[in-house]
C-alpha cells in the first residue's frame, strides 16, 4: 500500500489523479488534503507525516496581477519544504511544472523556481524527487477560461456561445488521463528524475480544435450521430466535448418514429465508429447498471416501458434523473466519469437497447461499480 498525498486534489489534474487512484484501494491510499492545510502548520505537518509520496499540483495559473501568481506558487513550495524539515520527512515528491518554464513570464518563473527548490531539498536529504515538465493538458471537467483553450472552446460551443481565436498557434497537448498514467508510473517506480519532460501525445492548431468541436456539435448534438473518430486523440477530444454539454437539459433526446398500419420504425443510432449493440428486458422494480466508464461512449435507448435513468458525476452528490417512456422512444448518452443506472418504474417489462463503442472485454472492461 502506497500512501499518496495530492495537493490541489480538487483541481483539474488533481481530481482526475485522485479518482484514478481510488479505483485501486488495495494498492493506493489517498491521504485527505485541504487547501486550508497550507495556512495551518499543524495540519500540514500531520498530512506530510502520513505520506510516502506527495504529488504537488496546487498552484495559481491565472490572476490579474502576475506577482500574485509568482508569490503564491513559490510560497506553497516553501511551506511544503518547511513542513518536511519540521517533521523530518522525506517523501517522494512529484512536482508538476510547465512548458511555460521556458517563457519570460512570472508563472513560468514560479514553476521553475519551485522545481529547483524541491530538487535542492531532495538532494540535501538524499530523497526522491520527480520534476515533471508538462505540456498543455486537456480533458473532461477543466475550467473554461482558466485551464485551457480546449475547455473554453468546448464550453462555448456546447452552450451556443461564439468562440474567438486570438492567436491560431500550434498546441502540443496531452490528455489528462495520459498525464495521470505518467504520474502513477513515477509513483510506482519511484524514479529520481529532477527534470522529466513529459512528451505531448497530440498536436493541433487552435483553429483545428474549434473545427472539430463545431463538427461534433452539428453531428452529435444536433443530429444524434456518433462522429467519425480516427485516432485516440479524436476519442479523447470527443469525450472531453461531451462532458461540457448541458447534460440535464439536452437529454433525453426523443427519436423520430415512422408509423403506418404495420406499426412503428425507429432508428436508434448512426455511427462513424463500430461497437457493440445489446438488448435487454427488465422486470418492474429492478435496476441495472450502477457503474461508470473512463473512456467508453454509451447510449441507452428505451423502446418499450417506463424507465428512470440516473447519472451522477464521480466525486459529486448531484443526481440527474431522466424519465423515459417507450410510447415516445428516446435515448440518454452516458458521459465518462458519470456513474449511471436504469430502473424499470413501470408496471410492465422494460425493453432497452444499449450501444457501446467497443465490445466488452473482461480483461479491460473499463467498468467500475459505484451506486448512483
- Phi and psi of 107, rounded to 5°? -65, -50
Is 367's pLDDT higher than 90? yes
Average pLDDT over residues 160-175: 94
Please report the pLDDT score of residue 193 as a whole number. Answer: 86
Written as one string, the DSSP assignment of 166-178 is S--PEEEEEEHHH
Q: Give me the pLDDT at residue 250, please.
A: 97
Band of residue 103 on the pLDDT scale cut at 50, 70, 90: confident
Q: Is the pLDDT of residue 174 over 90?
A: yes
**Confidence grade of residue 66 (pLDDT, cut at 50, 70, 90):** confident
Is the pLDDT at 293 greater than 90, yes or no? yes
CA distance 149 to 24: 32
Q: Where are the domains of the chain?
A: 2-211, 248-369
Query: Dihedral (C-alpha) 364, 135, 110, 149: value to the nearest 10 degrees?
Result: -100
Q: Do domains 2-211 and 248-369 have the same CATH topology?
A: no
Q: Whole-number mean pLDDT of the chain?
A: 95
Segment among 17-26, 36-45, 59-68, 285-294 with least mean pLDDT = 59-68
| CATH code of domain 248-369 | 2.60.120.10
Mean pLDDT in residue range 55-83: 92
Q: Is the pLDDT of residue 324 over 90?
A: yes
Residues 290-297, mean pLDDT to the nearest whole number = 97
pTM (global) more than 0.75: yes
3 state SS of 248: helix
Lowest mean pLDDT among 78-87, 110-119, 261-270: 261-270
- Is the C-alpha dihedral spanning 209, 211, 217, 219 positive or negative? negative
- Cα–Cα distance list, 34 to 7, 8, 74, 180, 320 (Å): 8, 8, 18, 20, 27
Do the beta carbons of residue 262 and residue 345 sit within 8 Å? Answer: no
pLDDT at 262: 86
Beta bridge partners of 352: 280, 302
Mean pLDDT of 286-313: 96
Confidence at residue 102, expressed as pLDDT on a 0 to 100 scale: 80
**For residues 94 and 34, what is the distance between their CA atoms, to the nearest angstrom?**
18
Confidence at 104, pLDDT banded by 50, 70, 90:
confident
Is the model's pLDDT at 60 over the cut of 90?
A: no
Second CATH level (architecture) for the domain 2-211: 3-Layer(aba) Sandwich (3.40)
Distance between CA atoms of residues 187 and 4, nearest Å: 9
Cα gap 192→12, rounded to integer Å: 25
More confident residue, 217 or 103: 217
Q: Over the stretch 326-338, which tens digit does the pLDDT of each residue have?
A: 999 999 999 999 9
**pLDDT value of position 259:** 86
Amino acid at each position: 500500500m502506497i500512501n499518496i498525498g495530492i495537493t490541489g486534489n480538487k483541481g483539474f489534474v488533481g481530481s482526475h489523479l485522485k479518482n484514478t487512484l481510488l479505483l485501486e484501494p488495495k494498492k493506493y491510499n489517498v491521504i485527505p488534503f485541504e487547501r486550508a492545510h497550507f495556512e495551518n502548520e499543524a495540519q500540514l505537518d500531520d498530512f506530510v507525516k502520513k505520506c510516502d509520496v506527495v504529488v504537488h499540483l496546487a498552484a495559481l495559473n491565472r490572476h490579474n496581477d502576475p506577482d500574485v501568481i509568482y508569490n503564491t506558487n513559490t510560497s506553497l513550495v516553501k511551506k511544503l519544504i518547511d513542513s518536511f524539515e519540521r517533521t523530518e520527512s522525506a517523501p517522494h515528491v512529484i512536482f508538476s511544472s510547465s512548458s511555460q518554464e521556458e517563457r519570460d513570464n512570472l508563472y513560468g518563473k514560479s514553476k521553475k523556481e519551485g522545481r529547483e527548490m524541491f530538487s535542492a531539498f531532495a538532494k540535501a536529504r538524499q530523497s526522491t524527487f520527480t520534476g515533471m515538465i508538462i505540456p498543455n493538458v486537456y480533458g473532461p471537467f477543466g475550467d473554461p477560461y482558466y485551464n485551457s483553450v480546449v475547455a473554453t472552446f468546448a464550453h462555448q460551443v456546447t452552450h451556443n456561445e461564439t468562440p474567438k481565436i486570438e492567436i491560431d498557434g500550434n498546441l502540443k497537448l496531452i490528455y489528462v488521463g495520459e498525464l495521470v498514467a505518467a504520474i502513477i508510473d513515477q509513483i510506482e517506480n519511484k524514479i529520481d528524475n529532477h527534470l522529466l519532460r513529459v512528451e505531448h501525445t497530440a498536436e493541433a492548431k487552435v483553429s483545428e480544435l474549434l473545427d472539430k468541436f463545431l463538427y461534433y456539435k452539428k453531428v452529435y448534438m444536433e443530429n444524434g450521430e456518433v462522429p467519425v473518430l480516427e485516432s485516440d486523440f479524436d476519442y479523447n477530444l470527443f469525450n472531453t466535448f461531451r462532458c461540457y454539454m448541458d447534460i440535464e437539459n439536452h437529454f433525453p433526446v426523443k427519436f423520430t418514429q415512422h408509423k403506418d398500419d404495420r406499426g412503428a420504425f425507429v432508428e436508434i443510432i448512426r455511427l462513424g465508429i463500430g461497437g457493440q449493440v445489446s438488448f435487454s428486458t427488465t422486470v418492474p422494480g429492478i435496476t441495472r447498471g450502477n457503474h461508470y466508464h473512463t473512456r467508453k461512449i454509451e447510449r441507452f435507448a428505451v423502446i418499450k416501458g417506463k424507465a428512470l435513468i440516473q447519472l451522477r458525476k464521480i466525486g459529486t452528490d448531484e443526481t440527474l434523473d431522466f424519465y423515459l417512456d417507450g410510447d415516445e422512444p428516446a435515448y440518454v448518452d452516458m458521459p465518462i466519469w458519470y456513474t449511471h443506472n436504469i430502473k424499470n418504474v413501470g408496471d410492465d417489462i422494460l425493453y432497452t437497447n444499449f450501444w457501446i463503442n467497443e465490445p466488452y472485454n473482461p480483461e479491460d472492461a473499463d467498468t467500475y461499480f459505484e451506486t448512483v
